[in-house]
């Protein structure tokens, strides 16, 4: 099932199936190339070692979910929930990502080089997400912690019911969600944005971005805000 090519293990999904490939990943320590993913779901999930995994093609739902320590590169586009509940490590999508990218993720870095669908970063809890293109509606909904950087435009209801996640958008925002407001860009924010862009491999001027965050009006229920819940 596994072939060794120039010190890199090659795992073929079409030949072995997703379950066997995921099981084989648990026993590897060096770089791994996964071929013929053909949109397979739940590929490279639950990794818990400093592996370097490259997936040669498009993947389906929940690729690289629950990742810890590993670096996963998807040489294609990803379906729903890529890097869902990631704890650490890095996941890079060379193409587009469907909805709920980085959902509930606690840590690590998720880079989407093209566009992301709706609810990107939903309920994010500490992850850093950098998107090279646009993001869809309801992104960062109930974002609790972490940073979301968007080099393109954002859809409707950005940051709805936001807690303490920090959002940076270079393009336009269709609309802001409940309790999400524009905030001043201070020197510390420019510095952290510069660091995030460099880590993600994007060459962009932090001064071109706008910062958004929580107005902190919905932390506790108040009857005057009932319509916003």
What's the Cα-to-Cα distance from 189 to each of 126, 159, 207, 211, 213, rounded to whole Å? 16, 18, 10, 8, 12
pLDDT given for residue 26 in this prediction: 87
The structure's pTM equals 0.93
Q: Which residues of the chain register pLDDT less than 70?
A: 1-6, 219-229
**Residue ranges with strand state E in 52-209:** 52-56, 71-74, 90-93, 109-112, 125-131, 145-150, 166-169, 180-183
Residue 226 has what pLDDT?
A: 64
Q: Residue 86: how many CB atoms within 10 A of its CB?
A: 31
**Quick check: helix, strand or coil at residue 187?**
helix
User: What is the pLDDT, as a whole number, of residue 32?
Assistant: 96
Q: For position 225, what pLDDT does the model report?
A: 62
Q: How far apart are CA 200 and CA 206, in angstroms?
A: 13
Q: What is the pLDDT of residue 200?
A: 98
Residues 6+ apart with CB under 8 A from 197: 130, 149, 203, 204, 206
């Amino acid at each position: 099932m596994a072939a060794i090519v120039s010190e890199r293990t090659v795992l073929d999904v079409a030949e072995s199936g997703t379950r066997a490939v995921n099981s084989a990943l648990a026993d590897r320590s060096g770089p791994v190339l996964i071929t013929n993913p053909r949109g397979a779901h739940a590929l490279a999930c639950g990794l818990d070692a400093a592996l370097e995994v490259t997936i040669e093609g498009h993947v389906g739902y929940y690729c690289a979910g629950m990742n810890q320590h590993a670096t996963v590169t998807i040489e294609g586009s990803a379906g729903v929930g890529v890097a869902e509940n990631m704890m650490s490590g890095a996941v890079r999508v060379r193409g587009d990502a469907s909805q709920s990218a980085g959902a509930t993720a606690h840590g690590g870095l998720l880079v989407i080089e093209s566009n992301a669908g709706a609810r990107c970063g939903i309920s994010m809890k500490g992850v850093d997400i950098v998107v090279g293109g646009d993001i869809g509606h309801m992104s960062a909904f109930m974002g609790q912690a972490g940073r979301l950087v968007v080099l393109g435009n954002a859809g409707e209801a950005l940051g709805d019911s936001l807690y303490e996640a920090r959002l940076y958008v270079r393009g336009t925002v269709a609309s802001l969600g409940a309790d999400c407001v524009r905030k001043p860009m201070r020197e510390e924010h420019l510095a952290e944005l510069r660091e995030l862009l460099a880590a993600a491999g994007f060459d962009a001027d932090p001064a071109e971005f706008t910062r958004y965050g929580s107005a902190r009006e919905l932390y506790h229920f108040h009857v005057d805000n009932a319509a916003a819940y």
